[in-house]
Amino acid sequence: MARTVLGALLGVLLFVLTVNADRAGRRSLNGLQALRVEVVVSGPEPAEAASLGSMLQTNVELRLRQNRVRVQENVEGIPGRPVLRIIVVLYKNPEGIDVYAISAWGGLEQDVLLHRNKSQARAGTWRSYISVGLTNSGAFRDSVRENVSGIVDEFVNDFLAENPR
């Protein structure tokens, strides 16, 4: 009985900490003027990963711009020098079975000021949940695009919630 209660309390605590971390991450988007996008794709076939990365980079930038998020190549003059980084890792079944595993996640990195000693550091201030899926070679590009779209949608929703126009 004590273990069950302790487990339930621990679960509630983890939920509260996760929700508070998510709110803090969303609040870090308030006043964001512009950002740079970096999409990184790694996989067993480097040429395919590079091609997919280029396509995703274009799609992500377009989707952000359509949702009133300013995207720039150079953010040196932008407070915090924010970079939205999306990472996609592809795993191909080595036994010849037509199955790919896809893992995708995203995060925003910015310069932050540490309260305790007023020093500046680079930190992740917003993150998406990890997206994982399985697909075959015929559908894997669409599956990757769908996973990345979910990350971008999550970012846009949080951005617009903090920056209503």
Mean pLDDT across the chain, nearest whole number?
85
How high is the pLDDT of residue 52? Answer: 94
Give the gyration radius of the chain's Cα atoms.
19
How high is the pLDDT of residue 23? Answer: 60
**Model pTM score:** 0.82
Expressed as residue numbers, the domain containing 116 is 2-162
Question: Each residue of 127-165: pLDDT tens digit?
Answer: 998 888 888 888 989 999 999 999 999 999 999 999 997
Q: Are strands 100-113 and 131-135 parallel, antiparallel or unpaired?
A: antiparallel
- Counting as low any pLDDT under 70, the low residues of the chain are 1-24
How far apart CA 26 and CA 81 sit, in angstroms, is 17
CATH of the domain at 92: 3.30.160
How high is the pLDDT of residue 22? Answer: 61
**Beta-ladder partners of 108:** 84, 126
**One-letter amino acid for residue 61 of the chain:** E
How high is the pLDDT of residue 94? Answer: 83
Question: How many H helices and E strands in the chain?
Answer: 3, 5
How high is the pLDDT of residue 24? Answer: 66
How high is the pLDDT of residue 138? Answer: 87
How high is the pLDDT of residue 92? Answer: 87
Number of domains in the chain: 1
* Residues 147, 125, 110, 160, CA torsion sign: positive
How high is the pLDDT of residue 114? Answer: 87
How far apart CA 55 and CA 53 sit, in angstroms, is 5
